[in-house]
Structure 1
Amino acid sequence: MLRPLSLTVAALALTALATEAAAQSQPFERAGPRQDWTVDVGVGAIYSRDAGGDTGGQGNVIPYIAANWRDRLYFSPFEGLGWNVVYTETFRAGVQLRPRFSPEDIEGLTLDRPDFGADAAVYAYQRLPGNIVVGGRISRDVSGVSDGTEYQASIAHQRRTPVGVLNASAYVQGGDQKLADAYYGVSSAEALTNAISAYRPDGGLQAAGTTLLLVSPVSRDWAVGGLVNYERRLGDIADSPLSRNDDSWRVGMFVSRRFGG
């Protein structure tokens, strides 16, 4: 079912279009020539199953734009505005101002869902032999949406194939009690209104997932690609009455054009 663009799904879908943005904070071996600046413009289509707590599937078309200056400063809708404070060929560490997308409404429930917000984050990633990158980030809400803290750790491998660049990654993420309660808690008033149980989750691990992403160049400036993502909710998040299905699937494809100099 094709529905209007939701911010939550857009954020998840941009995992595909953000290949180059992710490369700006993670030190994979360079896949193309070095340029002083780049701007990527594209569009993608994503189908999500169990997005934002709604067990129905939904499709969206997502526009995308990202920018990079000398691998130091960068921007994308997914990672926000970032700065590689420490930059080498095999290690990167920096800071970001990241968007925090609002969750979708859950069909059949009337809830006070968090608004769009922003997180301040610090990160560090190290490249190991075999073009494997390990690292993570810690981010904290700075917009008053949750006042919560989130952490994520990941391991990823990237390599060239006959049809393009293939990136495979696995990750775990978690957060404190404030973050969990803002997005998966149920207040007493909400419990009465919706005839569900009140719920106050604790912090800890919240999800684990894996993503396969393929990017295929079709010319010097154009590329197409696709992704498959699976995520499993964990801990108190999985036990929340707002988590109707602990498994999420996303499949997407995109096309993008690069401008640079």
Structure 2
Amino acid sequence: MIKAVLQTATFLGAISCFGLVNATETRTPLVPLPSVVDFTDGDGWGVGLGLGVEYETAYEGSDEFELEVDPAGGVQWRTGDHLFFWAGEAIGWRTLARDAWLIQASVGYEEGREEGDSEDGRLDGLGESSSGAAMLLEVRYALAENWRYFLDGRVSAGEIGTLGIFGAGTCLACQPDGTGWEIGAAATFHDGKLANRDFGVNTRQSIDSGLPETDVDSGYRSTGVNVNYRNYLNKNWQIFGEALYEVYGSDVSDSPISRNDYEAEIGVGFIYVF
């Protein structure tokens, strides 16, 4: 996976070398971070539509990988330092406070795992895991001018359980229009409900699947690194790339559902900004 990430970096870097970077007028995003999408130009409506292709782990803990095509983009409306958005299965609001605090709140839908997610039959007998709405609260704090370094904290809570993510990141060669490279590292923690949704095996599931009954404690889940890239090919077309590598803690990797002790994904896509 690390090799794949490096290959993607080389590919996207090659695009930059051929003069496709900054081929448009400078936009004014809420914050100049590639991972915080802003299709507006100051105030008013912003719309972006596109597609992304991801090569990723088939499900949490899987040793199978799949290629998936997903829609990308969203609809946004901005007034000053407030931005309201709809993207995929989430709607939300984010705001910039005192030039150093980025606060975001959103509501989305988290889909559960299905037995068919494993083509090798590794999930047979486990049934479908729960799905449901989840609320996300995220706070970022800039440690340097232009968000060169920042701290990041996120908490997602809902019907399926609670997940906390705490990390830090840096923006490399980032431009005022929100393009460039962003690299982050974070540790994640889950409650018992979410832990057992993803990695636990109850009595009924144990009987049906043949896997040993497993109860996963709340607490530390994983540590990971992520890379985001975003750039404009011209006034309207935008290219983006992302990669994630996450290593599970011992409680998670010891689960019979975990066939790997890591999760990984890599993706690239294009968005047309109206």
Which stretches in structure 1 are left out of the alignment for 5+ residues? 1-22
The alignment status of 1:228 with 2:206, answered yes or no, reads: no
Whether contact under 8 Å (1:50, 1:247) holds in the other structure is no
Q: Which residue of 1 aligns with 2:94?
A: 84
Q: Distance in 2 between matches of 1:157 and 1:251?
A: 19
Q: Which residue of 2 aligns with 1:57?
A: 65
Q: Distance in 1 between matches of 2:64 and 2:149?
A: 35
**Matching residue within 130, 141, 153 for 1:126:** 141
Letter in 2 for 1:92: L
Structure 2 unaligned regions, length at least 5? 1-28
Q: RMSD across aligned C-alpha pairs, in angstroms?
A: 2.6
Structure 2 residue corresponding to 1:160, chosen from 159, 173, 180: 173
Q: TM-score, normalised by structure 2?
A: 0.75
The 1-side partners of 2:220 and 2:125 are apart by 27
What fraction of aligned residue pairs are identical, expressed as a percent? 20
Aligned residues: 230
Work out which of the two has the higher radius of gyration on C-alpha atoms and give 1 or 2.
2
Tell me whether 1:112 sits opposite 2:127 in the alignment: yes
The CA distance in 2 between the partners of 1:246 and 1:44, in whole Å, is 26
Q: Provide, for residues 69-125 of structure 1, a one-character-per-residue CA deviation record: whole Å limited to 9, x for no partner.
A: 2142122227x2222366342212242213223225343322123233111232221
Matched, 1:215 2:230: yes
1:136 maps to which residue?
A: 153
Taking structure 1 as reference, are residues 50 and 209 closer, same or farther at Cα in structure 2, changes over 3 Å only? farther
Equivalent residues of 2:106, 2:136 under 8 A apart: yes
CA distance in 2, matches of 1:234, 1:91: 31
How far residue 238 of structure 1 moved from its aligned partner, in angstroms, is 1.8
For the Cα contact (< 8 Å) 1:72–1:87, is it kept in 2? Answer: no
**Rounded Cα–Cα distance in structure 2 between residues aligned with 1:222 and 1:184:** 40
Partner SS, residue 63 of structure 2: strand
Distance 1:235 1:224, change over 3 A: same
**TM-score scaled by length of structure 1:** 0.78
- Residues 27 and 123 of structure 1: is their aligned pair in 2 closer, same or farther, counting only changes over 3 Å? farther
How far off is 1:198 after superposition?
A: 0.1
SS at match of 2:247: strand
Is the counterpart of residue 195 in structure 1 residue 210 in structure 2? yes
Q: Show the counterpart of 1:43.
A: 51
Asked if residue 252 in structure 1 is aligned to residue 267 in structure 2, the reply is: yes
Q: Does 1:204 align with 2:212?
A: no
The structure with more strand, counted as a fraction of residues: 1
Distance, in Å, in 2 between the alignment partners of 1:63 and 1:214 is 17
User: Quick check: 2:56–2:266 contact (8 Å CA) kept in 1?
Assistant: yes
SS of the residue 1:197 aligns to: coil
1:175 touches 1:204 (CA, 8 Å); kept in 2? yes
Assess, with a 3 A threshold, how the Cα gap between structure 1 residues 53 and 94 changes in structure 2: closer, same or farther.
closer
Distance 2:136 2:32 in 1: 18
The answer (yes or no) to whether the contact 1:42–1:256 under 8 Å persists in 2 is: yes
More displaced stretch, 203-212 vs 152-161: 152-161
Work out the CA distance in 2 between the residues paired with 1:37 and 1:128.
30
Judged with a 3 Å threshold, the aligned counterparts in structure 2 of structure 1 residues 97 and 186 are, in CA distance, closer, same or farther, namely: same
Contact 1:41–1:66 (8 Å) recurs in 2: yes
- Single out whichever of 46-55 and 225-234 deviates more from structure 2: 46-55
Who is 1:19 aligned against? none
Question: Residues 86 and 227 (structure 1 numbering): CA distance in 2 closer, same or farther, change over 3 Å?
Answer: closer
The question of whether the paired residues in 1 share the 8 Å contact of 2:240 and 2:270 is answered with yes
